[in-house]
């Protein structure tokens, strides 16, 4: 099966491009952010813990997110593939993903790194705040999330490169073009 990692800063369009890939290839989609927000809504133990971190724009501890991810992944093994959206976000998570896949005879097929300028990201997130009302989409928390992204998540790009799975896509103002480029890449794996 295909194991696709979609990677990028907050607001880079991971959810949007994942939806296009689900449409085209019938993949299952794991968005760790969506799973955590569902847990919060359902008032579970994990949700209660996650809520505090998300509101502050911080990452949930690695061990919690890794366990959650493995159990969701195991429900998707019969399909054509899985898109990992919002995971991994730290080197520890990346190594855990590699190991989790390896144990199951699988590996990362490709990582799609979405490159978008910071002013476009901020504009999108503020617009989304008005529509979706997410607790972490306000200017102060967005800035913290950017900071967390650059310090904890961005270094993963080098890791993906070393693993030989990195593929980069720069947003040039045209979403459909970006979708076309991403689909072409995934067709080639
Ligand atoms: P977007 O979805 O627009 O790209 P985003 O990447 O900031 O924006 P989500 O992926 O939905 O948003 O994540 C929201 C929050 O959930 C994060 O700020 C973090 O607190 C938590 N979270 C999500 N995925 C992880 C993860 N892999 N490790 C730790 N925390 C996570
Ligand atoms: Mg998202």
Q: Which two tokens stand for residue 152?
A: 């904890």
Pick from 176, 178, 175: nearest CA to 167: 178
For residue 105, the model assigns a pLDDT of 98
CA distance 53 to 59: 6
| Helix/strand/coil (H/E/C) assignment for every residue in the chain | CEEEEEEECCCCCHHHHHHHHHHHHCCEEEEHHHHHHHHHHHCCHHHHHHHHHHHCCCCCCHHHHHHHHHHHHCCCCCCCEEEEECCCCCHHHHHHHHHHHHHCCCCCCEEEEEECCHHHHHHHHHHHHHHHCCCCCCHHHHHHHHHHHHHHHCCHHHHHHHHCCEEEEECCCCHHHHHHHHHHHHHCC
The predicted-structure confidence for 62-94, as pLDDT tens digits, reads as follows 999 999 999 999 999 999 999 999 999 999 999
What's the confidence (pLDDT) of residue 83?
Answer: 98
Low-confidence ranges of the chain (pLDDT < 70): none
| Nearest one of 112, 108, 78, 79 to 93, comparing CA atoms | 108
Based on the number of CB atoms within 10 Å of its own CB, is 18 exposed (0-12), middle (13-18) or buried (19 or more)? buried
d(CA 156, CA 118): 18
Q: Report pLDDT for 169.
A: 98
Q: What is the pLDDT of residue 120?
A: 97
Which residues form the pocket of ligand 1, taking CB atoms under 6 Å from any ligand atom? 10-12, 14-15, 32-33, 36, 53-54, 57-60, 65, 86-87, 89, 93, 136, 145
Cα–Cα distance for residue pair 109/130, rounded to 1 Å: 36
Q: How far is the CA of 112 from the centre of ligand 2 (A)?
A: 14
Nearest CA to ligand 1 atom 6: 10
> pTM for the full model?
0.96
Closest ligand 1 atom to 36 CA: 16
Query: 33, 55, 92, 153: which to mutate for ligand 1, most atoms within 8 A of CB?
Result: 33
pLDDT at 151: 98
């Amino acid at each position: 099966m295909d194991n696709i990692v979609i990677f990028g800063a907050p607001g880079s369009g991971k959810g949007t491009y994942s939806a296009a890939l689900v449409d085209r290839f019938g993949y299952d989609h794991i968005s760790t952010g969506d799973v955590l927000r569902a847990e919060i809504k359902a008032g579970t133990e994990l949700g209660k813990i996650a809520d505090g971190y998300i509101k502050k724009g911080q990452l949930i501890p690695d061990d919690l997110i890794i366990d959650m991810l493995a159990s969701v992944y195991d429900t998707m093994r019969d399909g054509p593939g899985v898109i990992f959206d919002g995971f991994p976000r730290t080197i520890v998570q990346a190594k855990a993903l590699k190991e989790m896949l390896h144990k199951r005879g699988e590996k990362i097929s490709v990582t799609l790194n979405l490159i978008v300028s910071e002013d476009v990201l901020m504009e999108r997130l503020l617009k989304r705040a008005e529509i979706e009302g997410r607790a972490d989409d306000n200017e102060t928390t967005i800035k913290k999330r950017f900071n967390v992204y650059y310090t904890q998540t961005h270094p993963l790009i080098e890791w993906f490169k070393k693993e030989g799975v990195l593929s980069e896509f720069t947003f040039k103002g045209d979403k459909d073009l970006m979708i076309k480029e991403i689909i072409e890449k995934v067709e080639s794996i």
